Amino acid sequence: QQLGHYDLVAELGRGGMGVVYKGYESQLHRYVAIKVLADSLAHDPAIKERFLREAR
């Protein structure tokens, strides 16, 4: 599977906020962690803001 320009290699974990995947960025030849917010939480502005703060 792909998410943007990342290849999703494996699911690393699942929690209340969403799912974390091991991804591969082929343009830079490196592995990354990709956190995806759960669909059920995406409509809540406060949750989205917290998610974005954690990402920074």
Q: Tens digits of per-residue pLDDT, 15-56? A: 988 999 999 999 999 999 999 999 999 999 999 999 989 887
Q: Count of domains in the chain? A: 1
Cα Dmax for the chain: 35
pLDDT surpassing 90 at residue 8? yes
Name residue 12's amino acid.
L
Question: Measured between alpha carbons, how far apart are the two ends of the chain, in Å?
Answer: 25
Distance CA 10, CA 12 (A): 6
What is this structure's pTM?
A: 0.81
| pLDDT-based confidence at residue 3 (cuts at 50, 70, 90) | very high
CATH number at residue 41: 3.30.200.20
Residue found under tokens 């699942």: 14
pLDDT value for 32? 97
pLDDT score of 13 more than 90: yes
The SS3 of residue 51 is helix
Domain extent at residue 21: 2-55
- Cα–Cα dist 48/18, whole Å: 11
